Amino acid sequence: MWKQKIIAIWSKCFLKISKSWQPDFEELSAYISPDILYFFTVDKNSSYCISWNTTYSELLALNLGHLEIDINGVQFYHFDIPIIVGHIKFNHAKILWNSTSLASPIQHYIVDIREGVRHTDTYSQLAGILSKYETYAQKITDNTVMDENSFNLRIKDIFYVLNYSIPDRCTRLDIYNKRDYAYPILLDSNYQHQGTVSKIHYMSYGLKIEQYHHYYDYCIKPVPSFVTALLKYDEDNIVWIDNINKVIGFKGDNSCLVLPNKIQSIQIDNLRPAKGWGGCWMEIRIEGFKDSIRIYQVLDVNQLDKHVDDFSEFFGVDVVINDRGYDC
């Protein structure tokens, strides 16, 4: 019923369509399911994709614009900007379908970016293609015409709906992206309440977590209650390992950075003081990430190597010390 209500709203909006037309997203937001991606089409040159961005609690809409034509005559849309679908982020995606009449079963073409292989299948096999992404597919088949005169908009004009099954743990989706991260971790919003702590390391001796802008997608605000409950002092920074959800968490000053627990290496860099103050920081490299996580020391410069055994035991990997010489 709520799906039909969405279509009715869009039908009403399309009656007023013009070159400068924009959907009334505020009106739509009350009817959007947070875990579903919707595709709408008006004509060949005007289509929209909308979803609810749970990370930032806002409705995300993309004007897909013009269709492009594949060399095989297959119509497709190419998303080369980040889109967030429910709890799942696509930095780079291509979705294709054939140009047969919508009155017949639509054949779907999905490009698997991770493997670089194009899958061509009918809808009945689409769920199998997506199953490795912990998703399932659903197609709306109600062909009721909501408004015969509003660009003949029909429920079947939604090309397909991807309905994401959100489990009670972190959901991971391996999609390779050369421009960004190779292993995005996608957190269920319930992680705020259902995260666990298997191991914890207190960093109250002067360590700070440097949070780069390109890791904001993996930050949680506010700090989850299951983390704050473990703090000796509110200002403490800690690292925890969650073996159940297979993640590692870094608590900063007012947010947490949560990443896959796939540590490749840890290196401690010492820059000894001379004319300058020197410095000391720890580089943690996560499998699939181009950039390492940096934890730097703000007190007791060049004393971080005293904790090598602690870090090695906690993370379960060997810690390498790199002497960078003097800060001249």
Q: What is the CATH number of the domain that holds 289?
A: 2.30.29
pLDDT band at 298 (very low <50, low <70, confident <90, very high): low
Let me know whether 135 and 80 are in one domain. Answer: yes
Counting residues of the chain whose pLDDT is more than 90, the rounded percentage is 1
More confident of the two residues 14 and 290: 290
| Cα–Cα dist 283/295, whole Å | 7
Residue 173 lies in a domain: no
pLDDT band at 260 (very low <50, low <70, confident <90, very high): confident
pLDDT band at 281 (very low <50, low <70, confident <90, very high): confident
Let me know whether 129 and 232 are in one domain. Answer: no
Let me know whether 154 and 47 are in one domain. Answer: yes
Let me know whether 92 and 214 are in one domain. Answer: no
pLDDT at 256: 80
pLDDT at 227: 84
Residue 219 lies in a domain: yes
Let me know whether 103 and 155 are in one domain. Answer: yes
pLDDT at 181: 34
Residue 170 lies in a domain: no
Looking at this protein, which amino acid is placed at residue 284?
A: I
Mean pLDDT of all residues belonging to the chain: 53
pLDDT at 176: 26
Overall size of the chain counted in residues: 328
Ranking 115-119, 214-218, 235-239, 279-283 by mean pLDDT, the lowest is 115-119
pLDDT at 296: 73
Among 104, 132, 163, give the residue marking a domain's end: 163
Residue 121 lies in a domain: yes
Give Cα 223 to chain centroid, integer Å: 19
pLDDT at 327: 66
Let me know whether 189 and 322 are in one domain. Answer: yes
Asked if 223 and 148 touch (Cβ cutoff 8 Å), the reply is no
Among 128, 163, 198, give the residue marking a domain's end: 163
More confident of the two residues 200 and 104: 200
Let me know whether 29 and 125 are in one domain. Answer: yes
Overall number of domains in the chain: 2
103, burial (CB in 10 Å: exposed 0-12, middle 13-18, buried 19+): exposed
Let me know whether 17 and 148 are in one domain. Answer: yes
More confident of the two residues 87 and 232: 232
Asked if 50 and 40 touch (Cβ cutoff 8 Å), the reply is yes
Q: Tens digits of per-residue pLDDT, 188-241?
A: 445 666 788 899 888 766 667 665 545 555 667 677 788 888 887 766 778 899
Strand order in the sheet with 319-327: 207-210, 293-297, 279-286, 263-273, 319-327
Average pLDDT of the residues in 126-152: 30
The boundaries of the domain holding residue 38 are 2-163
Q: How many CB atoms lie within 10 A of CB 84?
A: 20
pLDDT band at 325 (very low <50, low <70, confident <90, very high): low
Let me know whether 192 and 224 are in one domain. Answer: yes
- For residue 303, what are its two tokens? 């004393």
Residue 301 lies in a domain: yes
pLDDT at 231: 80
Counting residues of the chain whose pLDDT is more than 70, the rounded percentage is 29
Over 80: is that where the pLDDT of 313 sits? yes
Over 70: is that where the pLDDT of 155 sits? no
Among 163, 195, 229, give the residue marking a domain's end: 163
Let me know whether 289 and 214 are in one domain. Answer: yes
Let me know whether 146 and 244 are in one domain. Answer: no
Tell me 225's DSSP state: H
pLDDT at 274: 64
Residue 197 lies in a domain: yes
pLDDT at 37: 46
| Cα–Cα dist 187/259, whole Å | 9
Let me know whether 216 and 145 are in one domain. Answer: no
Over 60: is that where the pLDDT of 9 sits? no
Partners of 36 in the β-ladder: 163
pLDDT at 54: 46
More confident of the two residues 80 and 324: 324
pLDDT at 193: 66
Over 70: is that where the pLDDT of 180 sits? no
Residue 177 lies in a domain: no
pTM for this entry: 0.45
pLDDT at 251: 82
pLDDT at 235: 67
Residue 179 lies in a domain: no
3-state secondary structure of 193: helix
